[in-house]
Amino acid sequence: MKKNYEIVLFDLDGTLTDPKEGITKSIQYSLNSFGIKEDLENLDQFIGPPLHDTFKEYYKFEDKKAKEAVEKYREYFADKGIFENKIYENMKEILEMLYKNGKILLVATSKPTVFAETILRYFDIDRYFKYIAGSNLDGTRVNKNEVIQYVLDLCNVKDKDKDKVIMVGDRKYDIIGAKKIGIDSIGVLYGYGSFEEISESEPTYIVENVESIKDILL
């Protein structure tokens, strides 16, 4: 029997929109300030996880330098990179369907809330979401499970109601975060997580395209 999910959480980058151009150009700008030259195609790993952690993991930056790198990233991103972005084809129509069918839609992203709100307004899809939750600009609430818990608290979701909640995301961080909180998940393959990454994190469902999301949720 098909489960009826009433509350649907969406990741932003690589799930609702394709932010590749803006994020990779912002990272390239940041790295340049440290004398590091990188081609844009080598920077996809920055799409999805917290930036601070990714600078530390891939470039071995210590904590202070990683924070400086994030600040440099934001110089470009806030001005230009935020709009070097595109919504996935058919996503707006699916959000409209879910909304009209009474689903409560939420955003849970590691991107700062203020940037997430701007992007969703830019694509005119902010109206579908009851709450848009992201990280804080000071670097707190960046882990996906923290963001998920925060937005569920805003909705007053109790433990007994978690079987009605599902997270949709394109990276292992989304799936692992959902598991930590105790909710189901959909891993999407059209974003920036490989099939291996998604399957190894063991989501409840895996879908290849945007249209397949509605087959699970409607």
Around Cβ 133, how many Cβ atoms within 10 Å? Answer: 23
Would you report the helix, strand and coil content of the chain in percent, each value rounded to 5?
A: 50, 15, 30
The stretches of 33-155 forming alpha helices (DSSP H) are 51-59, 63-79, 91-100, 113-122, 144-154
Q: Pairing between strand 7-10 and 184-188?
A: unpaired
Rounded Cα distance, 121 and 117, in Å = 6
- Catalytic-residue membership of 124: no
Catalytic residue among 11, 13, 174, 184: 11
φ, ψ at 211 (rounded to 5°): -60, -30
CA torsion angle 82 84 85 86 (round to 10): 140
CA 112 to chain centre: 11
Would you please indicate which residues are annotated as catalytic (active-site) residues? Answer: 11
